[in-house]
Amino acid sequence: MADQSTPSTSGTQGAREGISRRRLLGTAGATGLVLGAAGGATGYAAAPAEATPLTSLGRARAAFHVKHQPGITTPMQARGHLVAFDLAAGTGRKEAAALLRRWSETARRLMAGEPAATGDTAVALDAGPSSLTVTFGFGHGFFGRTGLAARRPAALDPLPDFSSDHLDKARSNGDLWVQIGADDALVAFHALRAIQRDAGSAARLRWQMNGFNRTPGATDRPMTTRNLMGQIDGTRNPKPAEPDFDRRIFVPERGEPDWMANGSYVVVRRIRMLLDEWERLSAKAQEGVIGRRKSDGAPLSGGGETTEMDLEKTDAAGDLAVPINAHARITRPDQNGGAAMLRRPFSFHDGFDADGAPDAGLLFVCWQADPLRGFVPVQRKLDRGDALAPFIRHEASGLFAVPGGAAEGEYVGQRLLEG
């Protein structure tokens, strides 16, 4: 799961590199402030920690009115919620526009560290914005229910069936999709409740999933994160500094349809990791499945994490250093006609099955200008012989059109709903 189209918990490497030294050091300093609070004697409560200024982690703020919606190239956040809604019976274009107007205003306020306009729960009263982002998208069914079927993008056609699918329809798709991310769990939950309340009678909750990532500043330097299989994951994510990044990830300003200008398409998959089976493998066998070293993420052909993989290199026995069915080999863009996507997922753990097996894995979230040229060809290739396939299961799926960011005075999706 370490390369181009695979599920990943690292997010964009380029975005990670964007974490400032000030933010990193501020966060590291904040962790040191709480170490003395747990030393109370048995039977007595520990004394409360002295009040401290809001740390850089809490002060970090993402802008709402931007060219591309927040939460796409934003640095990975520690906590995430993915939510899908279906429009209620009788909800049409007018009601949907009012809903997106409410949601956009709530997102703008909360991302600025302000309370919701009405009925704020005060859950995040003591916290700063904590890098909160709220991202909105439209599913296939939204357009028919609002009388906008003629404006539905061809790129939003349903995804094909894949052999690895074991999909729960109740936890797949939806008319509207919302992604919430923050570096503080209470801030993220506060936004989740506000969005749900704002839905009112216009939309009903279809499904909701919770995820997490490593907290920014938890390492002594920005690093690619590890997934729940213990692999460094996301090394080959496209980087915003690359000249073809926008072309691969975003719909151009003069693209089709016009209301999707500067937007993107997101594929969301709940991918369960069969961790009991995976952990029975030796570290060497796990590396062979992925095609990268577990210790540092370097390709099995040699070098460091970012060294280009040598697909032709062989070992002393004449075998390929990177096995022919290794996940990292199969998912490379140069093995898939250049297909690329920006992966920005969250890990999840939703308890244990009756037999004790963990219900854990990846909320896979990937962005591309066209899913038929990004996600689909790579997933089809994985279907034909990925060594990782026996250790994962795709349990839910969705595809959503995510329009560009809202300008000042606008709400997300306004060009679609009022165009």
Active site residue ranges: 233
- Rounded to an integer, what distance in angstroms lies between the CA atom of residue 52 and that of residue 33? 8
CA distances from 239 to 71, 152, 283, 345, 392 (A): 15, 29, 29, 16, 27
DSSP state at residue 299 = B
What is the SS3 assignment for 155?
A: helix
Start-to-end Cα distance in the chain: 41
Contact between residue 162 and residue 394 where contact means Cβ atoms under 8 Å apart: yes
* Count, residues in the chain: 419
DSSP readout, 325-392? T-HHHHT-GGGTTT---EE--EEEEEEE-TTS-EEEEEEEEEEES-TTTTHHHHHHHHHTT-TTGGGE
Omega before 257 within 30 of 0, i.e. cis: yes
Distance CA 340, CA 5 (A): 7
Q: What are phi and psi of 155, to 5 degrees?
A: -65, -10
Which residue from 51, 47, 396, 40 is spatially nearest to 208, judged by alpha carbons? 396
Q: Cα–Cα distance between 64 and 109 in angstroms, integer?
A: 9
Task: Check if the beta carbon of residue 60 is closer than 8 Å to that of residue 394.
Answer: no
Going from the C-alpha of 158 to that of each of 140, 195, 306, 417, the distances in angstroms are 7, 26, 35, 22
- Using an 8 Å Cβ cutoff, are 373 and 36 in contact? no
Tell me which DSSP letter residue 267 carries. E
Whether residue 95 contacts residue 407, with contact meaning beta carbons closer than 8 Å, is answered with: no
